[in-house]
Structures are given as structure tokens and as C-alpha cells.
Amino acid sequence: MKFLCPVPGYDRHFGITAQFGIEMIPIPMDENGPDMDLVEEYVNNDETVKGIWCVPKYSNPTGIVYSEETVKRFAALKPAAKDFRIYWDNAYALHHLYPDIDVDIPNILEECEKAGNPDMVYQFASTSKITFPGAGIAAMSASEANIEEVKYRLSWQTIGYDKINELRHVRYFKNVEGLSTHLKKHADIMRPKFEATLEMLDKELSDLKIASWTKPLGGYFISFDAMEGCAKKIVAKCKEAGVTMTAAGATFPYGLDPKDSNIRIAPTFPPLEEIVTAVSLFITCVKLVSVEKLLEG
């Protein structure tokens, strides 16, 4: 059994897949989403490919938003495996850094139905990073047939849901507009942190041509690509100096980044002053490791 894994991607998706012993196949990402030529080649011709992980909006860690064409090509897949499923993790559906910028994408469920593939997708969302950690609620949308199957399986996993917590969420947010209003407050907290991080990266590294990074409009991460063979050393130097980052390679299946270049930056939790200090240290480590790499050559 195989799963397609867009990279760089979400380490927890890869961890779940590895735990079940499923072979993971990396699929490169570009500014429009996963390489759909490669996705179609695998899905339409290999019956052992059973699924693909997708974070369609503000993808973790790149912040990429899938294009309309990409969504439609997903919906039009012709899987060799009858039980192939798209796992559409819409975790950052409302997590805009700039709420006035329109980043809507087509509804994957509607597109799959139009394409004659109503049962091909499970879409997930939650109030993770919206309400208190560990106190959120999750949701899933899918075709009627898929919902019935999942309800049957869940019936053996839990006797009852936390209905009190569900009621709390409904009474507080009331509707999707309430959620959007709440997320604007989040954006006001997050935006200065992202802007400070990106401003420092631009100022200190742009002219050196030793790295590249994404400039997301939402989500929680910045994807940073150092020179090949440098990511692990950069993260290690940061840790020695007191800044702990996500392990280099975590954004790839099995933790193996073939270029050892990708680093996930999360300018979210610390206050702005600490973000500035941490990013300054990170930049120093990038420069040191890059110089060492260039001197080796």
C-alpha cells in the first residue's frame, strides 16, 4: 500500500502513515500545489496507491494555496484503486494573515461530484489554533456513502462525543461569520510576527543568494530552503545557542530531506521581541553554516 505525500509537507501526516507501515512517495510542490502530472501518473496507473495527503490552503509549511486548476485536476482523477481517497486537510481554511485578501479555492466536494467522483475525498477541519489547545472540535465532510461508513466505524471507537464542548463552540461562535471575526483577532496577533521575520530574512539574506523562503498570506509557517546539506547543521547550531526549531527533514517522509535544505519556521508562540531575537540568531547560524559549506567547495 502506498500514499502520496506532497513535500515539503506536514510531519504529522507522515508520522501517521509511517505508523501504519504504509509506503510514502514524495510529490514535489510548486506555487500551485502538488505536481499534478506526477499525481495523475501514480493515481491513475498504480492500484497500490490508496491515498494522498493534501493541505490545500496555506499548506504546512510552505503557505501555498492550491490553484483552481489543481483542485479541478484532483477532482478529475481516475484512480486505478477503487478505494483511493484524497485526505483533504483544510486545517487553515480561515487562518488568514491578511483577511482582506481573497484566497478562496473551489470546493473539493462539489468538484468531485461534478467529475463523477463523489466518494473520492474526505475533507477535514477543526478549531485547532482557534480555541484553546486540546479544547477544540474537529469536523469531517464527505459524500453520504463515506459519512455512513465513517459513522459506523466511529460507533465502535467512542460511546459519546463531548457534546458540552460542542455546545460551547456553537454558542460562542454562532456561525461561520463568528469564526471569521474571531480569526481576524488572531491575524492581528500573528501578522506582526510574520512581517518582522520576513523583513529580517529579506534584509540579511536576500542579496547573499544562499537561501530562499516562502512569503505566506496565511497559516502558521514559513518554509525556508538553505543551501544543500546545510539544514541539519543550521538547526543544530540554533539549538546550541538556545533556539529550538522543528527538526530538519521533518517536512519529508521518514524525516529524510534528500537535499537537507528545508527548515520549517514557526514565528507564532513567542512574543514579538523574542521573535526578533530568535530570527536574528537563526540568520547568524544560516550565514555561518553557509560560509562553511562554501569554503568546503
Query: Would you state the pLDDT for residue 138?
Result: 92
Fold assignment, 2-177: Aspartate Aminotransferase; domain 2 (3.40.640)
List of residues 6+ apart from 193 with CB closer than 8 A: 267, 268, 272, 275
pLDDT for the residue 269: 86
Q: Is the pLDDT of residue 102 over 90?
A: no
Distance CA 96, CA 110 (A): 23
Residue 161: predicted pLDDT: 84
- Is pTM, for the whole model, over 0.85? yes
Mean pLDDT in the chain?
96
pLDDT tens, position by position, 39-98: 999 999 999 999 999 999 999 999 999 999 999 999 999 999 999 999 999 999 999 999
Strands 262-265, 85-89: pairing kind: unpaired
> Band of the pLDDT at 133, cuts 50, 70, 90?
confident
Q: Is the pLDDT reported for residue 297 higher than 80?
A: no
- Delimit the domains of the chain by residue range: 2-177, 189-296
Contact of 75 with 228, CB cutoff 8 Å? no
Let me know if the fold of 2-177 is the same as that of 189-296.
no
Q: Is the pLDDT of residue 224 over 80?
A: yes
CATH 3.90.1150.10 at 189-296, yes or no: yes
pLDDT at 128 > cutoff 90: no
